A = this chain, B = another copy of it.
Amino acid sequence: MSHNTFGQLFRMTTWGESHGPAIGCVVDGCPPGISLVAEDIQVHLDKRRPGQSRFTTPRQEPDQVRILSGVFEHPDTGEQVTTGTPISLMIENVDARSKDYSNIAAAYRPGHADFTYDAKYGIRDYRGGGRSSARETACRVAAGAIARKVVGGMNIRAALVQVGPHQIDRENWDWDQVGENPFFSPDPKIVDTWADYLDELRKTGSSCGAIVEVITDGVPAGLGAPVYGKLDQDIASALMSINAVKGVEIGAGFDAASLTGEENADEIRIADGVPQFLSNHAGGILGGISSGQDIVARFAVKPTSSILAPRRTIDRDGNETDISTKGRHDPCVGIRAVPIGEAMMALVLADHFLRHRGQNG
């Protein structure tokens, strides 16, 4: 059962609410002997951290991670390394302004989980969205940083490819640009368009959706499993579990529906003794198992549901009312979803790497 746990052999269990004292996670199953200090994790958390540009929420969370267990000084090298026991990570909530949310204690914000949490549990921590807040994703990024070290040879990168209706031009794709703009855009030419579009939305208190693409090279052929526990299945599960995600696709994805078999099936040649696929409509996965090509996945993020415009809704007691969500919010949560997408991909790959090694040596 996995209501708050992700993964099988390499697994994380997360806990915490947006405005509780802290959030955190337990990473279990990590191989021993891997060098790990807090800074290895912090660098990834800093990419997800809010308040770094005018395009994300102004909430100021330093997101300083503490490693509470599972590492120890190596007797020979003196380095801090994993010991194979559970790694407990904790991040304190610092800038929780619970008063901002007092009006949502009773009324359900459209597009949010307020209504469904109450329907399920009869109670919810409404402060800042409680458990359904995207704040939980800091734990994913932290655990993902450890997962990356487990699959060190794999290069996991993500980028924003669409904001609202504005897509990048793939001709301009340059990975080096991703760190050079506040949107993780691989296309420098779209940056102004996105900035203008988001500025406009921010003025009106509105929001927009986005699409993130995650590409991983260096994945050996053979990871995954047939039938259930397919690599693409677990990637779909991982990415769909991110807050606000409404769609996931692999390789050609939904466009595959419009292709013919000739167009879609990637032909194979040999180059320097190594299989070479002549295209990658499969997105690096055939029959649920990695082919050695780049793993290519995309996911769609819906617009932030917290918007300034008053919306019709109901309250706990079934009365009709209107709600306007002031608080501090990202106009486009898709931006900060970029490092989260990388983290979830890392978690899936680390898990399958260990699972493959378990069965196949």
Please judge, given known A-B contacts A69-B15, A262-B309, A305-B265, whether A75 and B123 are in contact too, CB under 8 Å.
yes
Residue of B nearest to A84 (CB): B121
Please judge, given known A-B contacts A31-B361, A257-B162, A355-B1, whether A124 and B83 are in contact too, CB under 8 Å.
yes
Residue of B nearest to A256 (CB): B302
29 contacts between A and B (CB under 8 A): A1-B29, A2-B8, A4-B228, A14-B228, A15-B26, A15-B87, A17-B69, A17-B72, A21-B68, A24-B68, A29-B358, A32-B120, A75-B316, A111-B261, A113-B287, A115-B291, A117-B289, A120-B224, A211-B257, A230-B241, A236-B236, A241-B288, A243-B287, A261-B304, A262-B309, A265-B307, A270-B314, A354-B359, A358-B359
Which interface residue of A24, A30, A33, A233 has the most chain B CB atoms within 10 A? A233
Q: Which of A39-47, A129-137, A171-179 is the interface stretch?
A: A129-137
- 1/0 contact trace for A63-92 toward B, CB 8 Å? 000101110101100000101111110000
Indicate if the CB atoms of B111 and A264 lie closer than 8 Å.
yes
- CB contacts under 8 Å to B, within A301-319, are 301-307, 309, 311-314, 316, 318-319
A111 to B228, CA, bound (A): 19
Indicate if the CB atoms of A4 and B26 lie closer than 8 Å.
yes
Query: How far apart are A266's CB and chain B's nearest CB, in angstroms?
Result: 6
Contacts of A268 in B (CB 8 A): 108, 110, 115, 312-314
Query: How far apart are A202's CB and chain B's nearest CB, in angstroms?
Result: 11
Contacts of A111 in B (CB 8 A): 261, 264-266, 282, 286
Residue of B nearest to A108 (CB): B268
Indicate if the CB atoms of A257 and B88 lie closer than 8 Å.
no
- The listed residue (B136, B233, B252, B275) touching A227 by CB distance below 8 A is B136
Contacts of A62 in B (CB 8 A): none
Residue of B nearest to A318 (CB): B270
A213 to B68, CA, bound (A): 35
Indicate if the CB atoms of A247 and B248 lie closer than 8 Å.
yes
The size of the chain A interface, using a CB distance under 8 A, is 156
Contacts of A250 in B (CB 8 A): 240, 246-247
Indicate if the CB atoms of A287 and B117 lie closer than 8 Å.
yes
A264 to B210, CA, bound (A): 13
Indicate if the CB atoms of B209 and A256 lie closer than 8 Å.
yes
Which interface residue of A9, A87, A262 has the most chain B CB atoms within 10 A? A262
Indicate if the CB atoms of A246 and B241 lie closer than 8 Å.
no
Query: How far apart are A276's CB and chain B's nearest CB, in angstroms?
Result: 9
Query: How far apart are A261's CB and chain B's nearest CB, in angstroms?
Result: 4
A276 to B20, CA, bound (A): 32
Is A49 an interface residue when CB atoms closer than 8 A count as contact? no
Query: How far apart are A203's CB and chain B's nearest CB, in angstroms?
Result: 13
A162 to B259, CA, bound (A): 12
Indicate if the CB atoms of B303 and A259 lie closer than 8 Å.
yes
A261 to B205, CA, bound (A): 9
Contacts of A246 in B (CB 8 A): 232, 249-254, 256, 283
Please judge, given known A-B contacts A15-B86, A83-B121, A267-B313, whether A207 and B261 are in contact too, CB under 8 Å.
yes
